[in-house]
Amino acid sequence: MSIETKNIIVEKVKNSKIDQVDFDNLAFGSVFTDHMLVCTYKNGVWETPAIVPYQPITLDPSSKIFHYGQSIFEGMKAYKDDNGDVFLFRPLDNFKRLNISAERMCIPAIPQEYFMEGLITLLNLDKAFIPTQEGSSLYIRPFMFASGNGFHASPASEYKFIIACAPSGSYFSGKVKVLIEEKYSRSANGGVGYAKAGGNYAGQFYPTQLAIDKGYNQVIWTDDTNHEFIEEAGAMNIFIRINDTLMTAPTSDRILDGITRKSILEIAKDQGIKTEVRKISVKEVVEAAKDGSLKEMFGAGTAAVISPISGFGYRDTDYELPELQQSYGARLKKIITDIQYNKSEDKFGWRYKVEN
C-alpha cells in the first residue's frame, strides 16, 4: 500500500521482520528495520522522497560511485525513553554537516525538509525497532552517492540519498589500546578529512589492521607533515586530559567537526572543567605519560559516545593510563546519554522529540 504525506511517498512492508530481532543481543549495525528512505537527484532536481521496504539497491556497473568514490554519510541515533517517546540528538547538526560534505564532494545539497521530514516519517513508521535495553539505540545512517553512469572522470548527473536504520547495542565494550601512527596519514591539508566521505574510512583500514596485528585496537592519527601532533583516534575525535585540563585538537581540513566533540566541550565548560582546543604534540603526551600527569584519553563520536583508552603505544614502548574512580570521560558520557535518553534536563536545547 502506498500513501503520500506532505512531501514523502510511503510504501509499507506487507510483513514486518521485527519478530526476528533479538533485542537482548544486538551487534552494532548488523540488523535493519523494515523500511528505508530513498530520494533520487535527476535532471537537476531532487525528486519526491519515498519510504520503501528495506531492500537491495540495483546499480549499473558504470555508476560513478564505483569508479570515482563520490560517497558521503552521517551517523545519528534515535533513543526511546521510559515512556516510549522517541528523541534525536542535535539532528540539524547532522543535516548541516552532510551538506558540508556534499559540497566538498561535488554532490548536490539535500533540502532540509526532505532530510528532516523523511527521517521523522521513517522513525514513526519503524518506531518499534528502537530498542529500550540500556546502552542500545537505533543507529541511523543517512548517506548520498553518485548513481549516474559513465566512465568519464567528472561529477555524476544522478545521485541517491538514502536513510537506513539499524537497532544496535554498544559500539565498543571496555577500553581500547591504541597505537600512535607515524607513517600513514588519515588526511592532508586541502583534502577531504573534514568531510564524512567514505574514502576517508576506507583509507584507514590498512594501517588500522597493521596496528591490530601488533596487539592494538585502534590507531591514533597524527599530522600528515611530520607526524608530530595528535589529531584523531581511529574514526573518532580524541580528548586528552593532562592533570585537570581536558584538551582536544582544533578542527581543520584534516579533522572532522564532530557533534559529540562539540557537545563534550560545551558540557565540560558548563561543569567547570578546564578545556583547551589546541595542537597537542606527541612529545607532550609521551612526557605526560612518563611523569604521571597524563590522567586519561578517550575517543568521542556518535557510535561510541565516549570510548576510554587504556594505553597507547609509541616507538615500541607501551604506556598505560591510570584507572580513575571518577574520570572526566565517564562523567561526561553520563551527562550526554542522560540528555539523549530524556533522563535529565537539557539546558543546551540539543534533544529533539520525534512527534507522531
Q: What is the pLDDT along the chain (356 residues), one digit of tens a residue?
A: 444 456 799 999 999 999 999 999 998 899 999 999 999 999 999 999 999 999 999 999 999 999 999 999 999 999 999 999 999 999 999 999 999 999 999 999 999 999 999 999 999 999 999 999 988 999 999 999 999 999 999 999 999 999 999 999 877 667 799 999 999 999 999 999 999 999 999 999 999 999 999 999 999 999 998 999 999 999 999 999 999 999 999 999 999 999 999 999 999 999 999 999 999 999 999 999 999 999 999 999 998 899 999 999 999 999 999 999 899 999 999 999 999 999 999 999 999 999 98
| Ranges in the chain annotated CATH 3.20.10.10 | 176-340
Residues forming a β-bridge with 300: 237, 306
Q: For the structural domain made of 176-340, what CATH number should be given?
A: 3.20.10.10
Q: How far apart are CA 298 and CA 217, in angstroms?
A: 13
- Burial of 63-85, coded b for 16+ CB within 10 Å and e otherwise, reads bbbebbbbbbbbbbbbbbeeeee
Q: For the structural domain made of 2-168, what CATH number should be given?
A: 3.30.470.10
User: Please, how many CA atoms are within 13 Å of residue 322, restricted to the half-sphere of its CB?
Assistant: 16
| Ranges in the chain annotated CATH 3.30.470.10 | 2-168
pLDDT of residue 1: 40
pLDDT of residue 4: 46
Q: How far apart are CA 22 and CA 150, in angstroms?
A: 42
pLDDT of residue 6: 63
pTM of the model: 0.95
Helices (H), the chain: 65-68, 91-104, 112-125, 198-213, 259-270, 282-291, 328-340
